[in-house]
Structure 1
Amino acid sequence: MNHDDLRDWSKRAADWAHGYHAGLRDRPVRAPLIPGKIAAQLPQAPPEQAEGMEQIFADFEAILPGITHWQHPRFFAYFPANAAPASMLAEQLANAIAAQGMIWQTSPALTEVEQVMIKWLTQALGLPDEFTGTIHDSATTATLSAVLTMREAALNWRGLTQGLSGAPRLRLYCSAETHSSVDKAARLAGIGQDNLVKVPTDSTLSMKPGALAGAIAADRAAGFLPIGVVLCAGGTSVGAFDRMRDCIAIAHAAGLPVHVDAAWAGSAMICPEFRELWAGVEAADSIVFNPHKWLGAQFDCAVQFLRDPTPQVKTLGLRPSYLETAGKEDIVNFNEWTVPLGRRFRALKLWFTLRAYGLEGLRSRIRNHVAWAQEACDAIAKIDGISIITKPSLSLFTFACSTDAQTESLLGKINDDGRIYLTQTRHKGRLVIRMQVGQFDCTRDDVMLAPQVISELMV
């Protein structure tokens, strides 16, 4: 395949994509769960000779039954991984350029567009001007970067050179409502799962500030070394929010930095009326949110805001001579702000998306999703045999049948039916079904089909 072939096949792929999206409502949302079925269709060894694109493209189409359609307007599972058309176009251009923006000089535009997009998003979310930041692949990487920075700041950066053997027992604090990426960060950063302290929550599922203060004090009395606090703004399970102002004040009084995981809910903060949910977040040291979840920027795109990037750059930065830019020692090289050296042009899709829809267009979508989720919740609450377990947190709520077995059976029926896709979680030991509204192109009719489907399958 050469570039002339690429031109022709790109046009065909664009036509295919248009038809795919136009017909998504006619497809079942979730792929059938039959392990090995797709793999069995593929040759078990690579081809020795080149194959024609006609056959390759036909084989691509043959695996579509194994695709769960994340852009389906009735995808109400997990959180969305949206791909607005403007974002798709930007990704095509970024793929064509195929620049590697590991340092500023390898493509100045990659770094400088990213810097401007961070500034735009800071303003869009109502954060203080002193915040700067960078784009990661996902919130998991951003949280790991924040936790590594907490670790090294607590150790006065000795861990980078001496390792952790002989270091004090490190302690990291969060609530049980935070995402499992915090657990993963504790494991990968050498802190250890047993040293991730899950602070008790109150009746609103918010971390208890007094319990946080007590845990820190008890650990210090035991000779442990507290390193930082991770707070939750819109937890994955049921959408919990920690009380930012109070918990950050406790952490800072104890000399500990704070990272806020707002991976999903952060996007909603472009709407001023929702900012009360994370009131006080402006005092945090690090915040992550995923524009690829609810702002339409195609996966992967996670933004980490930093009050002061210096500790993170000191932790993650490494500049051998072959990564220097002569005469530009103070230039920003974003690879020093995160784990990977290589960096794609992720900022381009933010630039295109923010301009193509505008903040007001994006706000309108989010406001609709929140309103439609409440409407769907009210309708589901009227179905015999179903109880609402957690009321809508923005656009996420949960419900259940009388027993776990009935709930599990209902969820299986819903997803096998194919018209909508929902997922489960456990809340206070109980199996519940999550419904989250957020797909970029969904309509009220799509959302209100959910109560209809659930009611039919309860019979």
Structure 2
Amino acid sequence: MDGNEFRDWSIRAAEWGADYRETLRDRPVRPRTEPGEIFRAIEPSPPEDAESMEKIFADFEATIMPGMTHWQHPRFFAYFPANAAPASVVAEYLVSAMAAQCMLWQTSPAATELEMRIIDWMRQALGLPEGFSGVIQDSASSATLAAVLTMRERALAWEGNRKGLAGQRAVRIYSSDQVHTSIDRAIWVSGIGEENLVRIPVKGPLRAMDVAALEAAIIDDRANGFLPAGIIACVGGTSVGATDDIASVADIAGRHGLYLHVDAAWAGSAMICPEYRHFWAGVEGADSIVLNPHKWLGAQFDCSVQFIRDSESHVRTLAIKPEYLKTHGHDGIVNYSEWSVPLGRRFRALKLWFLLRAHGLQALRTMIRNHVAWSEKLASRLAAEPDFELVTEPMLSLFSFRHRAPAGADADEHNLRLLNAINNDGRIYLTQTKVDGHFAIRFQAGQFDSTAQDVEMAFAVIKEIACDLG
């Protein structure tokens, strides 16, 4: 592809993207394809000779697009959002065109220094105190892994990386069963082992860790020769929004010398609104906090902000400095490859800079407040219907519900049928969870372009299809 073709196809791709966004409401949220259908439509062997971009683009539209789930659809109410506000998309065009490798200050000084500034912008926006620094990771999974490795190393007096875990006392990490499965994976990858992730029971409407049980578990483990290292608390857990009492957990972590990581991947973005900050009161006592602007704030995936109270411990855990990665002639600079597990790094700060400037905090706050209000209204309307019940009350814009099954029918199977029928209909997209062992349907409002009318349609679709199922 020569320069002229690159220009032409870049323009065409950008125009396609704009047209795609304008037509999203006309598309089903989830594709109507069968497993294997797309696979069979793709040539089984790679081409020996070059093909025209015209043909490649035509095949993209004919073969790939029918099998895509439209995460930017205004009626995407499943999982959590993976928003990509237009300003963020434009920034990603520029990042892709430059294709910079931003692992060190010297490999792209502007990328490093913008990231430092954006981290502090986000700190201020969230009301966090001075003293927190941070890094933009690819996802909350990587941030949590980095935190788990740091709590492990700190507990082992920095001997884990050097000597390995063989012969060491078993390191213990504490969390509830409401945390994201990325915590389980971090425990596996770090070598700590699943048996050493101690699950603390939850209680109350927010399904918070029982802090008395947490402290008792720490004391008991220490008495039995284990090595308590850290606690992972959540604010807005993935299933139904479980939220721990961060202040109480931080107090326990401080008294027992444990590292505290707070996973606020989804809900953390809402803390730009001061009225929601009570959900993570005491968070200033955390050692590490993660939130994903690529969820609710509108930054294109991937963009996960990890705040760190003691960057020295974090970097000591992760940094490797071979001669070929040293920056000579400059002291005191930040090399962000030393703050993450991967060495290579994309220029993630640019899209967040574009986003915050193009919208401003006030507009982003309004969006989040609208989502919360619309979700609360929908929950109230469903609760008022004789054949529906709320399983969990709204936590910000997330709640769960179920439909009462006909006499003699299994309630879980009935609600699974309802969910599948809703998603096959295509007008909205919802997902499921289990609460106290029983099936429930999740709803969350969070898509960047959603309107009150989109949420109104969700109510109409849910009620209509439930009536059709009898």
TM range (shorter): over 0.9
Aligned-residue offset at 1:382:
2.8
Aligned-residue offset at 1:33:
5.2
1:3 and 1:233 map into 2 onto residues whose CA distance is 49
5 Å matches for 1:216-295? 216-295=218-297
The 3-state SS of whatever aligns with 1:450 is helix
5 Å matches for 1:55-454? 55-62=55-62, 63-204=64-205, 205-402=207-404, 403-454=411-462
Matched with 1:37 is: 37
The 3-state SS of whatever aligns with 1:425 is strand
2:220 and 2:278 map into 1 onto residues whose CA distance is 31
- The alignment-based identity, stated in percent, is 58
Aligned-residue offset at 1:401:
2.3
Q: Is the 8 A contact 2:412 2:439 kept in 1?
A: yes
Matched with 2:408 is: none
| TM-score normalized with structure 2 length | 0.97
The 3-state SS of whatever aligns with 2:71 is coil
Aligned-residue offset at 1:329:
4.2
The 3-state SS of whatever aligns with 1:213 is helix
| TM-score normalized with structure 1 length | 0.99
1:232 and 1:104 map into 2 onto residues whose CA distance is 33
2:128 and 2:52 map into 1 onto residues whose CA distance is 52
Show structure 2 runs of 5+ residues with no match.
405-410
The 3-state SS of whatever aligns with 1:305 is strand
Instruction: Return the letter of the residue paired with 1:50.
Output: A
Instruction: Return the letter of the residue paired with 2:226.
Output: F
Instruction: Return the letter of the residue paired with 2:356.
Output: L
Q: Does 1:455 align with 2:456?
A: no
Instruction: Return the letter of the residue paired with 1:173.
Output: Y
Matched with 1:27 is: 27
Q: Is the 8 A contact 2:403 2:466 kept in 1?
A: no
Aligned-residue offset at 1:19:
1.2
Aligned-residue offset at 1:3:
2.5
1:237 and 1:314 map into 2 onto residues whose CA distance is 34
Aligned-residue offset at 1:42:
0.7
1:143 and 1:78 map into 2 onto residues whose CA distance is 19
Once superposed, what is the RMSD of the aligned Cα atoms? 0.8
Aligned-residue offset at 1:159:
1.1
Aligned-residue offset at 1:247:
0.8
Instruction: Return the letter of the residue paired with 2:456.
Output: M
The 3-state SS of whatever aligns with 1:38 is helix
Instruction: Return the letter of the residue paired with 1:48.
Output: E
1:261 and 1:33 map into 2 onto residues whose CA distance is 35
2:160 and 2:277 map into 1 onto residues whose CA distance is 37
Q: Is the 8 A contact 2:33 2:66 kept in 1?
A: no
1:4 and 1:286 map into 2 onto residues whose CA distance is 48
Instruction: Return the letter of the residue paired with 1:90.
Output: A
Aligned-residue offset at 1:32:
2.8
Instruction: Return the letter of the residue paired with 2:451.
Output: T
1:372 and 1:314 map into 2 onto residues whose CA distance is 45
1:248 and 1:185 map into 2 onto residues whose CA distance is 21
1:196 and 1:417 map into 2 onto residues whose CA distance is 41
2:201 and 2:318 map into 1 onto residues whose CA distance is 32
Aligned-residue offset at 1:437:
0.2
Show structure 1 runs of 5+ residues with no match.
none
Matched with 2:54 is: 54
Aligned-residue offset at 1:383:
3.0
2:2 and 2:253 map into 1 onto residues whose CA distance is 57
Instruction: Return the letter of the residue paired with 1:7.
Output: R
Instruction: Return the letter of the residue paired with 1:401.
Output: H
Instruction: Return the letter of the residue paired with 1:17.
Output: G
2:2 and 2:180 map into 1 onto residues whose CA distance is 44
2:287 and 2:33 map into 1 onto residues whose CA distance is 42
The 3-state SS of whatever aligns with 1:291 is coil
Q: Is the 8 A contact 2:266 2:291 kept in 1?
A: yes
The 3-state SS of whatever aligns with 1:104 is coil
CA deviations on 1:2-48 (whole Å, 9 max, x unpaired) are 22211101111111111111111111101235211111111111111
2:33 and 2:375 map into 1 onto residues whose CA distance is 27
Matched with 2:8 is: 8
1:218 and 1:99 map into 2 onto residues whose CA distance is 50
1:347 and 1:146 map into 2 onto residues whose CA distance is 21
2:386 and 2:39 map into 1 onto residues whose CA distance is 42
CA deviations on 1:245-286 (whole Å, 9 max, x unpaired) are 001101110000100000000000000000011101011110
